[in-house]
Amino acid sequence: MNPNKFFNERLKNPTGLPYLNLILFHALIGFLIYAFRPLALVYSLAILFYFVLKIMRESHDPLVVLKACSYIAAAEVFLRMTGGLVFYETGKYTVILFIAFGLYYHNFKSSANIFIIFLVLLVPGIVMTYLDISYDNNFRKTILFNLSGELCLFAAALFCYNRDIKFRDYTKLLDFMLLPIIVTTTYVVFYTPNLQEVVTGAEGNFAASGGFGPNQVSTVLGLGMFILFVRLFLTYNNKILQFIMYGVLAIVSFRALATLSRGGVLTAIIMCVLFLFGFLRYAKPVVRTKSIVKIMLLIGIGSMVWLASIFATNEMVYNKYTSRNADGSIQEDVTTGRITILKTEIDMFESNPFFGIGAGMGKFYRGETMGKLSASHNEITRLISEHGFFGILCIILLLLAAFNQYLKDPRNIFVLPLTFFWLLTISHSAMRIAAPGLIYGLALLKVNFDNNANHAK
């Protein structure tokens, strides 16, 4: 099919007022859990039981598995911040559980066998840890904590690689992923309604992030910014909903900026630019003209949100994004200590470039050299330092698999932005949450533009 035709009209998507009801319902969930925090555990268990039953009842449809994984990955940070998870890593293991169901019912493409190689490449690092770890440290916990992100990515990539999905269903998947982000946004708004009272410095602010890690909250809210940006171009079928979602984008963006953690916001901006590159490339001239109007509108909204965030945070957002301290002076280290950690990881690689020092051993190495057990913020340098040459092969394999998907079908406007979400997120926040691994898997889906005539945009 001609891709120009594909982006010519509005997608005939059933998303409309019923979806607005879902948005309002999830906003209510966020408020209720703010008002009575123990409900977070009820919400968590409800997610698990609902999706397990739905996957089993609709075992013929792999899209249900993808929706389940997307929902829990987007909800993970919220459930962590509210105590809704029984175990800290429950989010990643729930994604793996859902995918295990998916593999049982739908198997995986033979071409996805390359990701088994990725898993095998991690084994030497595990062996090194087994040989070197002291009796004072728990081998199982060290391995699982440091490789749970890789296991989540492996499962997602194995299930998604070259799996067909209709373009219309891809947009539904994004809509579904947005719902828990609405919950998160609602919660942080009620948690800290007056930002001026809590933002006194230019460092990541826990109080403005629902009392949780600003880096992870910024990552999830940034993902929400991207989803809303995409869906405002691939327009909702209902004009009322379309108008409301501009407001939702403004609120999500405002609270993402208020975390004073730059990673998630900057990643979202880069993703939006990459999406526009693909979208405008295949759009007809009339659609490009309409898109220019939308771009100008979004720039206007973004400018107002930026100015509002400067006022609401006592100008600390401006200081943060211009690498200044609370008093306005330029910081020498714009990475907030990440360069120091990166240097230690280079030293680790140089000490054992072939096998690495062992999975999870970097924290103990820094404990000896820096005097504190600091976890890595960069999954790329962590893989290289702890897995050596095999870690480099892991990174190369993942990059080649993703860009191979793009080269096979450049019309797939999701491959590049989702791949860069994974790449940029693991560069500033490692793989501490399930989202980067799952999003990498979603980037590998094979989008089918030829489902029927009712999918034009």
Average pLDDT of span 126-142? 82
**213 pLDDT band (50/70/90 cuts)?**
very high
Q: State the average pLDDT over residues 316-324.
A: 92
b (16+ CB within 10 A) / e for 309-339: bbebbbbbbbbbbeebeeeeeeeeeeebebe
Residues 309, 324: Cα–Cα separation, whole Å: 16
* CA–centroid distance for 139 within its chain: 28
**What pLDDT, on a 0 to 100 scale, did the predictor assign at position 457?**
34
Mark residue 361 as left, alpha or beta (left: phi above 0; alpha: psi -120 to 50; beta: remaining).
alpha
Assess whether pLDDT exceeds 80 at residue 189. Answer: yes
Mean pLDDT of 139-159: 91
- Confidence band, pLDDT 50/70/90 cuts, at residue 333: low
pLDDT exceeds 50 at position 1: no
Strand 164-166 and strand 446-448: pairing?
parallel
| Six-digit token string for 73 | 């990955």
Q: Which residue has the tokens 């992923």?
A: 177
The mean pLDDT value for 366-377 works out to 72
Residue where the block lists tokens 């898993």: 119
Whether pLDDT at 456 is above 50: no
The answer on pLDDT for 337 being more than 70 is no
- Residue 109 CA to residue 122 CA, distance in Å, equals 22
User: Regarding predicted confidence, which is higher, 336 or 390?
Assistant: 390
Least-confidence region, from 15-29, 175-189, 202-216: 15-29
Q: Per-residue confidence at 270, pLDDT binned at 50, 70, 90?
A: very high
Of 100 and 234, more confident: 100
**264/259 Cα distance (integer angstroms):** 10
- Rounded CA gap, 385 and 128, in Å? 12
pLDDT over 60 at 331, yes or no: yes
Q: What's residue 376's pLDDT?
A: 78
Please report, for residues 40, 46, 88, 276, the alpha-carbon distance to residue 416 in angstroms, rounded to integers and kept in the order given.
34, 33, 30, 11
Residue 324 confidence class, pLDDT cut points 50, 70, 90? confident
Output the average pLDDT for the chain. 89
pLDDT, position 338: 74
What is the pLDDT, as a whole number, of residue 2?
47
**What is the per-residue pLDDT across 411-451, written as a single tens digit (0 to 9) for each?**
999 999 999 999 999 998 889 899 999 999 999 999 988 64
3-class secondary-structure state, position 447: strand
- Pairwise pLDDT comparison (56 vs 140), residue with the higher score: 56
Residue 271 has pLDDT above 80, yes or no: yes
Q: Where are the domains of the chain?
A: 3-455
Tokens encoding 436: 């980067």
pLDDT higher than threshold 60 for residue 107: yes
Q: How far is CA 311 from the centre of its chain?
A: 28
88/44 Cα distance (integer angstroms): 12
pLDDT in tens, 10-61: 444 444 568 999 999 999 999 999 999 999 999 999 999 999 999 999 999 9
Do 50 and 67 form a contact (C-beta atoms < 8 A)? no
pLDDT (0 to 100) of residue 419 = 97
User: Predicted confidence band at 92 (pLDDT cuts at 50, 70, 90)?
Assistant: very high
